[in-house]
A and B are shown apart, each in its own frame.
Chain A
Amino acid sequence: GAVVSQHPSRVICKSGTSVKIECRSLDFQATTMFWYRQFPKQSLMLMATSNEGSKATYEQGVEKDKFLINHASLTLSTLTVTSAHPEDSSFYICSARKGVITEAFFGQGTRLTVV
């Protein structure tokens, strides 16, 4: 299967700072990447969908100025949590899709803790 690498796996940051999370497709070009947030013992909540070279499409209720998504190349998407607060602490997972009708492959997730 295809490999999606997410970095870092864990990060602790101070309240008010910004954190960048990277998602890379290692052995394929991802036409579309997705960013999810997962609260403890809950399902994945889609935050946004990004296509290379265009602006991300955010789900309702997700602040686009707080969660900046950049999909600059077919193998890299980044999520920046700006001015992080403790309530932003969560598990963030990215996924990448090769084409329109193919399965999505997931990164290993990033545990963000804001103190």
Chain B
Amino acid sequence: GEDVEQSLFLSVREGDSSVINCTYTDSSSTYLYWYKQEPGAGLQLLTYIFSNMDMKQDQRLTVLLNKKDKHLSLRIADTQTGDSAIYFCAETSGSARQLTFGSGTQLTVLP
């Protein structure tokens, strides 16, 4: 089946850039997503990218997609303490286009 992998932890200093990486196995993925989850809360969609795009930028967020290597990254510029959360990458697959999630990356922003 499809598999999505992420590193579990990332720590950065406030004001630095954060880069969260994700790899996936399904070559037929059409949309790839980044979600943010704060403690005890649901998931907030941050951004998504269509598989025929290489890059998408939205304010402090930059998504890079290397379809050949099946690698997705999320860069957060000028990381703030409010960015501390778990970040999930996900891809759509299956006839119902359900999401397959990575394990999540716990981002900790240090003052």
Q: Which residues of A come within 8 Å of B, CB atoms?
A: 1, 4, 6, 32, 34, 42-44, 46, 49, 51, 57, 93, 95, 97, 100-101, 103-109, 111
Contacts and interface: CB of A to CB of B under 8 A. Distances in A.
B42 A106 contact: yes
Interface of B: 30-31, 33, 35, 40-45, 48, 88, 96-104
A43 B103 contact: yes
Contacts, number: 53
- Interface SS, A side: strand
B102 A46 contact: no
B101 A109 contact: no
Nearest to A9: B40
A58 to B, nearest CB: 12
B98 A46 contact: yes
Given A42-B103, A43-B88, A101-B31, A109 B98 contact: no
Contacts of B33: 103
B41 A100 contact: no
Contact of A49 (B42, B98, B102): B98
Given A44-B88, A109-B40, A109-B41, A104 B99 contact: yes
B97 A100 contact: yes
Contact of B44 (A34, A43, A46, A106): A106
Given A101-B31, A105-B45, A57 B103 contact: no
A35 B31 CA distance: 20
A57 B96 CA distance: 10
Top 10 A-B residue pairs of the complex, sorted by shortest distance between their CB atoms = A106-B43, A108-B42, A106-B42, A109-B42, A49-B96, A43-B103, A43-B101, A44-B101, A107-B42, A43-B104
